[in-house]
Amino acid sequence: MRAFVATRDAAATVRQAEVEEPVPRADEALVKVEAYSVNRGETFQLERPPDGDWRPGKDVAGLVVQAAPDGSGPAVGRRVVGHPPAGGWGEYVAVPTGQLAVLPEQVTAVQAAALPLAGLTALRLLRVAARHTGHLAGRRILLTGAAGGVGHYLTELAAAAGAELTAVTSSPERGERLRELGAAELVHAVESARGPFDLVLESTGGTALPEALALLAPRGLLLWFGQASRQPVTLDFFRILTGPTSATVRQFSYADVDEPDGADLATLVRLTAEGRLHPELGEVRDWTRTPELLADLRGRRVRGNAVLTVNR
């Protein structure tokens, strides 16, 4: 079968190659891939790909062509969205059944492929935030790096929960859709935001994190979940002492959960089918253009999600 493999060179990109079709384990279904999503974080992973026969790809949608040998999961012929650990940028991928959710007719493969990594991150970030504050209704939230796929999901979900969200984007054009999804305010630099905020969802790093931390309300929470700037963070602890009282800074990983992703994927699918969650499809291209799209993601030229369709 055809699939994309890491070039493992200075270009840190991918090339299409012939590889062996995956052989599912007992608890894995074989999925014929119709579409997959590419996330900016995966461009970082390609700079230092894991050893061995690892291939990239964590967000897929397609058709089950071989059910799991142990009888778990969806049957042959079911349309699914999946979040495999790797190997999704190809014609077929083996996916653990706990990492699959069945798709209804209302949700297309392109929409579904945009859901897993970005959608799971947004959903779980807001769960952590709600546990800290007790609820999100009326809470003031600052979201940095808001123009990506995670930011669009976070904005829509937070607004639906009654939060007042300020989104930080690099330009008005990159933030236009966020207003439609419920952002209360749009700014183009963290220091332009009007605090204090009960919650800060920080995905940029560099100078943005300390600036955002200074805008927290007393006993507020900053959740750090990304490093889009690729710049290290330096904190001035003397500034913190005169800033928000008893502030909490917490690192967040969407993968830090005890249960498989299937149930949360099903929630994202249901919200999409009901018209309560709208994947922001910034780019939809044929999968042969994957290397080009990786370059656009690195150059911050994609707003929302980037999806590739697999044509045979």
Whether the pLDDT of residue 287 is over 80: the answer is yes
Residue entry with tokens 């200074």: 214
**Any alpha helices (H) in 249-289, and if so which ranges?**
262-273
Whether the pLDDT of residue 240 is over 80: the answer is no
Contact indicator for 296, 283 with CB cutoff of 8 Å = yes
Give the pLDDT mean for 43-57. Answer: 94
Give the pLDDT mean for 210-230. Answer: 93
Going from the N-terminus, what domains does the chain have, and what CATH number goes with each?
Answer: 2-115+279-309 (3.90.180.10), 118-251 (3.40.50.720)
Q: How far apart are CA 278 and CA 276, in angstroms?
A: 7
Q: What's the pLDDT at 184?
A: 97
Question: Exposed, middle or buried by CB within 10 Å (0-12, 13-18, 19+), for 235?
Answer: exposed
DSSP letters for 203-252: ---TTHHHHHHTTEEEEEEEEE---TT-------HHHHHTSSTT-EEEE-
pTM of the model: 0.95
Give the pLDDT mean for 150-160. Answer: 97
Phi-psi region of 77 (alpha: psi -120 to 50; beta: other; left: phi over 0): left
Maximum separation of any 2 CA atoms in the chain, in Å: 61
Give the pLDDT mean for 260-273. Answer: 98
Give the pLDDT mean for 218-223. Answer: 95
Give the pLDDT mean for 286-293. Answer: 97
Which residues is 132 bridged to in the sheet?
none
Give the pLDDT mean for 103-131. Answer: 97
**Any alpha helices (H) in 47-141, and if so which ranges?**
109-113, 116-133
Instruction: Output the CA angle 222-175-141, nearest 5 degrees.
Output: 25
Q: What's the pLDDT at 243?
A: 76
**How confident is the prediction for the chain on average, in pLDDT?**
95
pLDDT tens figures, 73-92: 999 999 999 999 999 999 99
pLDDT tens figures, 166-180: 999 988 888 889 999
- 190 confidence band (pLDDT: 50, 70, 90): very high
